[in-house]
Homo-oligomer: A and B are copies of this chain.
Amino acid sequence: MQNKVYNYSAGPAVLPQEVLAKIQTELFNYEGMGMSVMEISHRSKPCIALFDETEALLRKLMGISEQYSVLFMQGGARLQFAAVPLNLFGQNRKADYIHTGSWTKYAIAEANKAGQAVIVASGEEDGFCKIPDLSEMKVSDDADYIYLCTNNTIEGTAIRPTQIPVTPLPLVADMSSNILSEEYDVEQFGLIFAGAQKNMGIAGVTVVVIRNDLLERSPKNIADMLNYKLMHSKQSMLNTPPVFAVYVLNKVLKWVEENGGVAQMAVRNKEKAALLYDFIDNSSLYQNNIEDSDRSLMNVIFNLPDAEEDTRFAKEAEKNGLMFLKGHRDVGGIRASIYNAAPIEQVQALIEFMKKYEAGR
């Protein structure tokens, strides 16, 4: 008999158990069709209905108005790093980037291939342990958009809903790792994208929410699969879409809805994160140096006195069924990812283990 296992992976990550149970039950027979959802034609009515329902659920949960389009794409956030500048650059081929860690670094590099990324705010000097002050940010006059990442999985920081800068330029946000975790006001953004594998399901589908006027910017000479306007005109079925990943997304969105929507997710996430940060702050062994207001609700990072002990801690944790606590290989340390689907018991179990580990040193 296996002991209870907890999954702290930064993504792919823990899924709601109710979602897995539904997938298992329906595996051989989707909607009475006598075949698996993995086998159905994307042109079939049940599949089109699945996509339509998934979009409607996302619109409802995030409060997305008809001024915006919803796209389901492939390639993860990483492909969006390229798609955003390729689609949104105008004649200036210039955009402002708020640099908050590894993921914005990659996004900046892609923008610099297609034009120019101007870093208008950066946390680099502070080792990315806080979000730069955005109120003093000097925006370029001729930028095509402003770009930010709302949650930095590696650095353990976040730009929380109240910290989103107000700007007349289209604001582009990578929300891959905290979409649906708190209530962001979609109207503040020109474009939001997010890979599904943290708060929305499995790797393989990327959600893009784009203000309709921005669709008109897509030039014809970029790859069809990156072209927002074309993807929109084909209802995200320009080619065979990742049907199963959209199906899991659908199930996760239903689970969010059944559990009180994004508002309730935020309540739970704040409670979970507070529990863990409070324990860390009151401990003499575990350390987190992130500015209080900039702490991520999704990825809680901390360190033990040295790298060797970080490793020992993570190994010991695995023996106790606490999986994937090792920090990202770029920064080391410990990282506990506690996405929407992680129950509070998962945080409590970690704290119990942290106490036990400290006592046993």
Contacts and interface: CB of A to CB of B under 8 A. Distances in A.
Given A20-B27, A38-B248, A75-B74, A203 B106 contact: no
A87 to B, nearest CB: 12
A243 B202 contact: yes
Nearest to A242: B204
A333 interface: no
A275 interface: no
Contacts of A11: 41, 240
A240 B82 contact: no
A243 B12 contact: yes
A360 B299 CA distance: 65
A15 B34 contact: no
21 contacts: A9-B40, A11-B240, A20-B36, A23-B27, A35-B323, A74-B76, A74-B79, A75-B79, A75-B239, A76-B225, A76-B239, A77-B239, A82-B226, A113-B223, A195-B240, A197-B240, A203-B240, A203-B241, A203-B242, A204-B205, A244-B245
A12 B204 contact: no
A102 to B, nearest CB: 12
Given A14-B39, A82-B223, A106-B224, A34 B5 contact: yes
Contacts of A15: 36, 38-39
Interface in A212-258: 221-226, 238-245, 248
A78 interface: yes
A7 interface: yes
Nearest to A2: B34
Contacts of A205: 204
B12 A39 contact: yes
Given A203-B244, A242-B203, A224 B28 contact: no
